[in-house]
Amino acid sequence: MDARVNVESILGLEEGDAHVIRNAGALVTDDVLRSLEVSRSLGTEDVVLLLHTDCGARDGDLDAAVREAAAQIDGRVTGYVYDVERGTLRGVPTPPT
């Protein structure tokens, strides 16, 4: 939900390319799962998790947080950490579900 993170620009998306669900800390809550369910009913097949450095809602190991979140989501999930200072995106391996 951080205004410094322009998801569409970071991922090279155009308007209408993706359903973007934003929340503090990229936590997989019931609301997120409900939104994913609706998105999937509209044809979405892939999920991208994007956490970022200098997050006010997270402290600690962001890679572990990506893997933890991915484990809560069924289907194809790709994880990333965005470095807000450098403007770089780093992939995080997620276990297959």
Selecting from 3.90.480.20, 3.40.50.720, 3.40.1050.10, 3.30.565.10, what CATH number does the domain 7-92 have? Answer: 3.40.1050.10
pLDDT at 9 (0 to 100): 95
Confidence grade of residue 5 (pLDDT, cut at 50, 70, 90): very high
Residue 96: its pLDDT value, please? 78
Query: Using one digit for the tens of pLDDT, what is the confidence trace for 8-40?
Result: 999 999 999 999 999 999 999 999 999 999 999
Average the pLDDT over 49-70 and give the result: 93
Q: In what order do the strands lie in the sheet with 76-83?
A: 46-52, 76-83, 88-92
Share of the chain above pLDDT 70, in %: 99
| pLDDT score of 86 more than 90 | yes
Please check the confidence at residue 97 and state whether its pLDDT lies above 80: no
Q: Where are the domains of the chain?
A: 7-92
3-class SS shares of the chain: helix, strand, coil, % to 5: 30, 20, 50
